[in-house]
Amino acid sequence: MTSPNNSRKPLIAGNWKMNLDRKSIQELVGAVSSGIVGRGAVDVAFFPPYVYLPEVLRACEGTNILVGSQNASEQASGAFTGEISVSMLKDIGIPSVLIGHSERRHVYGETLEQIHRKVAIALEAGLQVVLCLGETLQEREDGRTEAVCREQLSTALEGVSRVDLTRITLAYEPVWAIGTGVVATPEQAAAVHLYVRGVLAGLFDDSGAQSTRILYGGSVKADNVTDLMSVPDIDGALVGGASLAAKSFLPIIEGAQG
Ligand code: 13P
């Protein structure tokens, strides 16, 4: 039942969504970067809004903090007003992109096909991808959690090579747990993470599945992260609300070290 591979380094990532401003970002990045000095057992990442990416990247220079985008277009370039391409992200030195967040799927209606194209174009551009997946409350109540996760995963990763899998991190984010304060229990999360890792093994191979990080997201806080991280298949957290202030984010990083 448990993963034999303990070599996956935990990752605690902050998805700022459409929050913060220049001043609060400077304070947050400053406090987190000095707060993690000497705590190299956990990787840390920020996903700021597009317009702040260059200055967050600059502010994180010389630290181990990874900076990624919350989204990218599935189009390469052209007449797509308001969109940002993967080559633009690459051009300004952004190494990573979140794809398929539930707010993109459910608020902005991104389709499985769009998400598949985003994953493909991001990998082609040489970026790392954090692919989000997860079921709604209705889907869980209908007993469809596994089917939904399998479909989201297999469609998004269609055509992805085994080599490119090494640039993918997954984030299981049950939609009912996002921003609600209702965190999945470690048992609920464990069951889905194990299932998702099994799907990965089927799509690729066992070593690919064992070496891919699977984060949990949805109401992660300092007081629940240690229990979640004690689940062998949970390799970190994608944090929304609690990532917006150092006083709530740093204790999560600390709690993830066990
Ligand atoms: P919350 O931590 O605010 O529930 O958000 C989770 C999330 O959506 C991270 O991507």
Tell me how far the alpha carbon of residue 218 lies from the centroid of ligand 1, in angstroms.
5
- Determine whether the shortest distance from the Cβ of 236 to ligand 1 is under 6 A: no
- Determine whether the shortest distance from the Cβ of 258 to ligand 1 is under 6 A: no
- Determine whether the shortest distance from the Cβ of 220 to ligand 1 is under 6 A: yes
Distance CA 214, CA 193 (A): 7
Place of tokens 């600059």: 58
Digit-coded pLDDT (tens) for 141-168: 999 999 999 999 999 999 999 999 999 9
| Mean pLDDT, residues 164-178 | 98
Per-residue pLDDT band for 4 (boundaries 50, 70, 90) equals very low
Q: What residue's CA is closest to ligand 1, atom 9?
A: 240
Tell me how far the alpha carbon of residue 173 lies from the centroid of ligand 1, in angstroms.
8
- Of all residues in the chain, the percent with pLDDT exceeding 90 is 95
Digit-coded pLDDT (tens) for 62-102: 999 999 999 999 999 999 999 999 999 999 999 999 999 99
Retrieve residue 71's tokens. Answer: 């989204």
Digit-coded pLDDT (tens) for 203-232: 999 999 999 999 999 999 999 999 999 999
* Type of residue at 17: K
- Determine whether the shortest distance from the Cβ of 45 to ligand 1 is under 6 A: no
Active site residues: 101, 173
Retrieve residue 254's tokens. Answer: 């600390």
- Determine whether the shortest distance from the Cβ of 134 to ligand 1 is under 6 A: no
pTM, two decimals, is 0.96
Q: Is the per-residue pLDDT at 133 higher than 70? A: yes
Q: Are 135 and 145 in contact (CB under 8 A)?
A: yes
Retrieve residue 141's tokens. Answer: 């109540």
Tell me how far the alpha carbon of residue 78 lies from the centroid of ligand 1, in angstroms.
32
Q: Tell which atom from ligand 1 comes closest to the C-alpha of 238.
A: 9
Backbone angles phi, psi at 253, to 5 degrees: -60, -45
- Determine whether the shortest distance from the Cβ of 217 to ligand 1 is under 6 A: yes
Q: Is the per-residue pLDDT at 6 higher than 60? A: no
Q: What is the predicted pLDDT for the residue at 91?
A: 98
Tell me how far the alpha carbon of residue 79 lies from the centroid of ligand 1, in angstroms.
32
- Determine whether the shortest distance from the Cβ of 179 to ligand 1 is under 6 A: yes
Q: What is the predicted pLDDT for the residue at 3?
A: 42
Q: Is the per-residue pLDDT at 2 higher than 50? A: no
Which residue among 131, 219, 221, 249 has the greatest number of ligand 1 atoms within 8 angstroms of its CB, and so is best to mutate? 219
**Average pLDDT over the chain, rounded to an integer:** 96
Q: What residue's CA is closest to ligand 1, atom 5?
A: 240
Which residue among 17, 46, 170 has the greatest number of ligand 1 atoms within 8 angstroms of its CB, and so is best to mutate? 17
- Residues 15-25: b if buried by 16+ CB within 10 A, e if exposed: bbbeebeeeeb
- Go through the domains of the chain in sequence order and give each one's CATH number: 5-256 (3.20.20.70)
Closest CA to 74 of 86, 58, 62: 86
